[in-house]
Structure 1
Amino acid sequence: MTTCSLTEAGRVTSVARAVTCALVCLAGLPAVAHAALGDIAPPAEAASPPAHSVAGGEARMASYTDAAGTTVNVYIDARSRRIFAYTWQGPATPNLDTLLGPYAATWHSGAAALHAAGGDELHAARVETPSVIVETGGHMRGYIGRAWLPGALPVGITERALQ
């Protein structure tokens, strides 16, 4: 990956070189930004299609495939446009710190406590806190999981609907 800084761009004598440096930096960014749990979904994730209705229109679900080939489903409250859940299935676990956003620290603490108590299993774990629930499981190149905000589930949606 090529990197450059605004300082480097400012030192070049040509405006064209500065613009080229900025474009090279931007080329390394993902094409679509994915929001974390609790965030308002970016228009690309809330758009119809490929999003489809869940529970009679109370929510929408959009999917994308990450760089590792894992399919990630994003569940969006139809009224507030906030992301209330993620599910995934594929050869690698997605970056949970990114998906969980502000809930990542709570998940890490819960996972550490579960591990210390011997409550986690080799191929599956469920970390349940009042603010976030994260289930992970699977085996090499076959990972599944889901994470959701129990207090943010829209009316008519239960955890069973998150697949």
Structure 2
Amino acid sequence: MKKVRIPHYVIAGLSILVSSATAPAFAQLGATGRAAAASDGDVVHQAQSGIVQFRETADQQGIVVREYVDSTGAVYAVSWRGPAMPDVRALLGAHFETFRQGANASPGDAGLHATRVALGDLVVENRVRLREFSGRAWLASSLPPGVTSTHIQ
């Protein structure tokens, strides 16, 4: 059997193509209108309390992202869990720099394997435990009436 040698640039190009084709586009925190990740096949879930609505997506790595939406479709919170971190920059959108500044100002605020940033209107919590990443972020002033941070899971 003859071995075929594939050039490294072909492998690199294919891996970029595959990863970009399979990565879901998440809505950004604070986005108004129908979220960017929404498509005609998306299902909006309603929590048993009836107070919270969210869209849930999962990528091929097993990262599950929930986008909590108000009655207008604006994303007021996001949460994630899985074997790796999602693209937090994409999830937080315009709020990412605020998160980064807060994280740099108070590293390890919540503990060794957790971080909590509360800066202005933005609150972000992130945990890592045995290769299980989870977190949530919300805009405090955008929580709908009756919704608290305990509803964001």
TM normalised by structure 1 equals 0.72
**Matched residue of 2:66: which SS?**
strand
Q: Tell me the residue number matched to 1:33.
A: 25
2: CA distance, partners of 1:109 / 1:76 = 26
Q: Are 1:102 and 2:94 counterparts?
A: yes
Q: Which region of structure 1 is more displaced relative to structure 2, 121-130 or 57-66?
A: 57-66
* Structure 2 residue ranges without an equivalent (≥5): 1-12
Q: How much identity, in percent, do the aligned residues show?
A: 33
1: CA distance, partners of 2:23 / 2:109 = 39
2: CA distance, partners of 1:110 / 1:142 = 23
Contact 1:46 1:76 in 2 (8 A): no
Aligned length: 139
**Larger helix proportion, structure 1 or 2?**
1
**Matched residue of 1:92: which SS?**
coil
Q: Structure 1 residues 31 and 67 mapped into 2: Cα distance closer, same or farther (>3 Å)?
A: closer
Matches within 5 A, 1:34-113: 34-40=26-32, 41-42=34-35, 45=38, 50-54=43-47, 59-78=52-71, 80-113=72-105
Following superposition, the deviation at residue 156 of structure 1 comes to 1.1
Q: Tell me the residue number matched to 2:10.
A: none
Q: Which has the larger radius of gyration?
A: 1
> CA-atom RMSD, angstroms?
2.9
Q: Tell me the residue number matched to 1:129.
A: 119
Q: Are 1:153 and 2:124 counterparts?
A: no
2: CA distance, partners of 1:156 / 1:47 = 29
* Structure 1 residue ranges without an equivalent (≥5): 3-24
2: CA distance, partners of 1:100 / 1:106 = 9
2: CA distance, partners of 1:60 / 1:46 = 16
